[in-house]
Amino acid sequence: MTADEGVQSSRWQDNARAVTKVLASGEDACFITLGDILFYSTFIYLLREVREILPAVMVISIPGVTAFSAAASVLSFPLGKGREPVTVIPVSAEDLEAVRDALTRESTVVLMKIGRRLPDILDIIEDAGLIADSVFISRAGLEGEHVETDLKKLRGLNPEAGHLAIILVHAGKERKKYIRGAENGCK
């Protein structure tokens, strides 16, 4: 896990060479991940590099449950209702303007890849007046799962609390209704 693009590229190429060596020997290879392999997954980059080496490689992708779908299920948090859009944003980027913009629209907003940006994200959600319309979950469905319906309680936590975390925000008309309901069923 590094943000250094040169190091990432080198590692993807090294891994692709290892995988193509296995494939060239006549064996099959498998990539297992949390979530879905084609949604913000390292597999996307590995696949690209493998196809550079073996353009005709046969790949069978089996869809997984996206992390935000798993989180919504744990919380009974509706992601999309009627024609309301759903906006998914990876917030690990330096520029958080996309988060600010999404919170101004009538939609459900899924904030993923929070990591150490948790304090910044909490500030943005609070500034948007949506702190009471948001729910935090880390390690959804895994040991150590952490659900918080009062995001103010996340203030001052170790920034690592944002690892494997998602924040779901109802910026639509039916705000609060689902968050309050989640309090009764949350762990």
Q: Give the residue from 176, 174, 182, 169 showing the smallest Cα distance to 88.
A: 169
The pLDDT of residue 149 is 92
Provide the angle, in degrees to the nearest 10, between the axes of the packed helices 43-53 and 5-24.
60
The pLDDT of residue 182 is 46
The domains found in the chain, sorted by start residue, are 5-53 (no CATH), 67-185 (3.30.950.10)
* pLDDT tens figures, 102-123: 999 888 999 998 888 899 999 9
Verdict on whether the full-model pTM lies above 0.85: no
Name the stretches of the chain with pLDDT < 70: 1-4, 93, 172-187
The pLDDT of residue 164 is 87
* Residue 45, Cβ density class (10 Å: 0-12 exposed, 13-18 middle, ≥19 buried): middle
Cα–Cα dist 46/48, whole Å: 5
